[in-house]
């Protein structure tokens, strides 16, 4: 059974218990309320009749001739009262009157006159001056054995003569007459409870969907983190789930940092192994060899190995610095044409030595936005790469343009191009192709650095073979909002 289903069943179970509890308590309260209301009306009626009887006492004896006419006429009275949805067509309260000893003087039922009711609570308590009331089987059915005998509510009121109690008037009402009102109120209560249950079930379904939605987001986020995809933490309204997502993100960053350091140490050790071996061998041979020419060659090897190690460490530090950035720290306006012109000028001597010419096509005077230091290093890497792969007496073309909100810089050489086997690996760290002239390899970090710089600029870096000969390296990035005061890089 899935968690979502278990959660819904839990909500359903809790909802059902609450609904049953509300209905049970409400019906009990409703029953008590209806009986209390009926009792309050019967108290008024009993005392009203008792006062009428009190007006017909002669020498302490209750005179019943007026009651014999009044009560039957009352019971035969035709009613036409629609109380809410219940139709009442005749009176339903009965009356009996006792003397001060509890003997029945008058009974509207017509079968208890002369009997002793002094032990009934309504008569006994009222004669004592207390409130007398009882609920019991209707007197006319008292001798009948029924599975569900009819009950009535009896309310007594004292009859006074010279401030003394000389009798009791009791009015009774069958509880069956209250049942239509109870049934109507019960139906209304059941409809209300059903509405509450439906609303709570809907709420339960919504809460289940809401929580499962957040949990699905967390699950998908965890899957994406596990597949090493760069995804932002999901936005969750529940603070607990949001904290969990943030904790997962922090854990991912910490694990990546640990793995990143391990990979870099492994890569650095691997790349330094070759120049260190060459350095150690050259130093050992230098001590053993006395030939000045051979010593000079060995010293030159030592110098080149040291330079290679310094260059490798420096470029790895630069690449590591870029790779660990989550976003650009500084975005500013840059004069792209001036930046490219300055990079070409700095390499003029090297270009003259190699007899390589650099042409700038449509190098318009326009400004772009980005990190000036990182963009300068990225473009410098592409220019140096083009120079190293270009044959003597060839030319390199640099083109910059703005296309809508996209910036493009392309550097095209006439070198041997990219072999098919290297196209998918060209941006990998430490991957390098041999130079055409010397067959030496670089550190393999330059293009990785360019690729990471473009990622930070939310752009792309591409290397493609040209249709005729050579390679075209293009970097593209969108317009970025400056984060510092706009400045023009000269």
| Residue 23, in any domain of the structure | yes
273 and 379 part of one domain: no
In degrees and rounded to multiples of 5, residue 292 shows phi and psi of -55, -40
395 and 274 part of one domain: no
Instruction: Read off the CATH number of the domain in which 320 is found.
Output: 1.10.287
Q: What does the pLDDT read at residue 131?
A: 93
Asked if residues 489 and 338 have their Cβ atoms less than 8 Å apart, the reply is yes
Domain boundary among 324, 348, 372: 324
178 and 236 part of one domain: no
| Residue 206, in any domain of the structure | no
**Residue in the block written with tokens 């792209």:** 336
What is the chain's pLDDT, residue by residue, as a tens digit (490 residues)? 566 677 777 777 887 787 788 777 877 777 777 788 888 989 999 999 999 999 988 877 888 888 888 888 888 888 888 777 778 878 888 899 999 999 999 998 888 889 999 999 999 999 999 999 998 877 544 444 445 567 889 999 999 998 899 999 999 988 877 777 777 777 777 787 788 778 877 877 777 777 777 777 777 767 766 666 666 666 666 666 667 767 766 666 666 555 555 555 555 555 555 566 666 766 767 666 666 777 677 677 677 667 666 655 665 566 566 656 667 778 888 888 888 888 888 888 888 888 889 888 755 566 788 888 888 888 888 998 888 888 888 899 998 888 878 888 999 998 888 888 888 888 887 677 777 666 666 667 778 878 888 888 889 999 999 887 889 999 999 888 777 544 444 3
Domain boundary among 274, 292, 324: 324
110 and 244 part of one domain: no
417 and 274 part of one domain: no
273 and 360 part of one domain: no
Each as own residue / partner, the long-range contacts of residues 223-227 (CB below 8 Å, 24 or more positions apart, any chain) are: 225/249, 225/252
239 and 350 part of one domain: no
Q: Among residues 417, 447, 418, which one has the least CA distance to residue 430?
A: 447
| Residue 212, in any domain of the structure | no
342 and 288 part of one domain: no
Q: What does the pLDDT read at residue 192?
A: 79
| Residue 207, in any domain of the structure | no
What is the extent of the structural domain holding 461? 332-478
311 and 347 part of one domain: no
Structure tokens at 191: 């409809």
Asked if residues 73 and 90 have their Cβ atoms less than 8 Å apart, the reply is no
Q: What does the pLDDT read at residue 485?
A: 47
**Number of domains into which the chain is organized:** 3
Q: What does the pLDDT read at residue 490?
A: 39
Structure tokens at 174: 């069958």
| Residue 419, in any domain of the structure | yes
| Residue 16, in any domain of the structure | yes
Instruction: Read off the CATH number of the domain in which 31 is found.
Output: 3.30.450.20
9 and 48 part of one domain: yes
156 and 132 part of one domain: yes
| Residue 93, in any domain of the structure | yes
96 and 163 part of one domain: yes
Domain boundary among 152, 171, 186: 186
Instruction: Read off the CATH number of the domain in which 361 is found.
Output: 3.30.565.10
Structure tokens at 243: 């904290």
| Residue 192, in any domain of the structure | no
């Amino acid at each position: 059974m899935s968690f979502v289903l278990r959660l819904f069943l839990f909500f359903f179970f809790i909802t059902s218990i609450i609904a049953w509890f509300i209905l049970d308590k409400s019906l009990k309260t409703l029953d008590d309320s209806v009986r209390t209301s009926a009792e309050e009306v019967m108290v008024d009626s009993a005392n009203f009749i008792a006062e009428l009887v009190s007006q017909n006492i002669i020498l302490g004896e209750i005179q019943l001739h007026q009651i014999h006419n009044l009560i039957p006429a009352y019971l035969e009275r035709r009613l036409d009262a629609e109380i809410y949805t219940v139709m009442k067509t005749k009176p339903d309260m009965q009356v009996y009157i006792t003397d001060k000893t509890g003997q029945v003087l008058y009974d509207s039922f017509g079968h208890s006159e002369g009997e002793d009711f002094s032990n009934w609570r309504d008569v006994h308590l009222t004669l004592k001056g207390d409130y007398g009331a009882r609920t019991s089987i209707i007197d006319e059915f008292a001798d009948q054995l029924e599975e569900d005998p009819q009950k009535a509510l009896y309310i007594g009121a004292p009859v006074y003569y010279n401030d003394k109690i000389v009798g009791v008037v009791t009015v009774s009402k069958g509880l069956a007459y209250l049942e239509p009102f109870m049934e109507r109120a019960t139906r209304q209560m059941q409809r209300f409870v059903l509405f509450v249950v439906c609303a709570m079930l809907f709420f339960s379904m919504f809460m289940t969907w809401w929580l499962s939605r957040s949990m699905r987001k967390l699950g998908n986020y965890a899957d994406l983190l596990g597949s090493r995809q760069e995804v932002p933490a999901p936005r969750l309204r529940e603070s607990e789930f949001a904290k969990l997502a943030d904790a997962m993100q922090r854990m991912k960053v910490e694990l990546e940092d640990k793995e990143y350091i391990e990979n870099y140490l492994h890569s650095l050790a691997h790349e330094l192994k070759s120049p260190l071996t060459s350095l150690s061998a050259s130093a050992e041979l230098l001590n053993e060899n006395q030939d000045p020419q051979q010593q000079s060659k060995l010293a030159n090897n030592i110098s080149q190995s040291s330079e290679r190690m310094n260059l490798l460490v420096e470029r790895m530090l630069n690449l590591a610095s870029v790779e660990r950035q989550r976003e650009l720290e500084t975005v500013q306006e840059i004069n792209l044409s001036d930046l490219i012109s300055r990079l070409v000028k700095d390499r003029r001597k090297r270009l003259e030595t190699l007899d390589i010419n650099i042409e700038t096509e449509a190098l318009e005077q326009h400004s772009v936005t980005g990190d000036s230091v990182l963009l300068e290093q990225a473009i410098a890497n592409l220019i140096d790469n083009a120079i190293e792969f270009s044959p003597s007496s060839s030319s390199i073309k640099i083109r910059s343009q703005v296309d809508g909100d996209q910036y493009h810089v392309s550097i095209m050489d006439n070198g041997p191009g990219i072999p098919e086997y290297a196209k998918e690996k060209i941006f990998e760290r430490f991957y390098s192709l041999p130079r055409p002239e010397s067959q030496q390899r670089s550190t393999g970090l330059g293009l990785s650095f360019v690729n990471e710089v473009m990622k930070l600029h939310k752009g792309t870096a591409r290397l493609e073979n040209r249709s005729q000969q050579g390679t075209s390296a293009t970097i593209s990035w969108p317009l970025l909002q400056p984060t510092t005061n706009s400045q023009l890089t000269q």
